[in-house]
Homo-oligomer: A and B are copies of this chain.
Amino acid sequence: MDFDKLVHQPTRLQIFAYLYRHGETSFPDLKEALDVTEGNLASHIGKMEDADCVAVEKQFVDRKPQTTYELTDRGREKFEEHIGTLEALIDDLDE
């Protein structure tokens, strides 16, 4: 059973799941939803960006700069694969 550590790490697994469900999300919203520190969130998002799993968009909203994140196609795909792995592990428990 192959576990992708990029996706499996607890904080990142939750970032993946949140962005998968909610689509484009701002940094403050993500921080609040996951209850993590700014530094921790930035570090994990950075790793996901480096792996081409998250796209970052910087724009101005009411003249204020706002950064939003969303999963790339590759990010969605890797997350779906990983959920499949976890589901298989869980399903096997009933056998």
Contacts and interface: CB of A to CB of B under 8 A. Distances in A.
Q: For chain A, give the interface size range.
A: 10 to 19
B1 A93 contact: no
Interface of A: 1, 3, 5, 8, 10, 13-14, 17, 20-21, 83, 86-87, 89-90, 92-93, 95
B20 A93 contact: yes
A6 to B, nearest CB: 12
Given A83-B90, A86-B86, A86-B90, A5 B10 contact: yes
A17 B83 contact: no
21 contacts: A1-B14, A3-B10, A3-B13, A3-B14, A5-B10, A8-B8, A8-B10, A13-B89, A14-B89, A17-B89, A17-B92, A17-B93, A20-B93, A21-B92, A21-B93, A21-B95, A83-B90, A83-B93, A86-B86, A86-B90, A87-B90
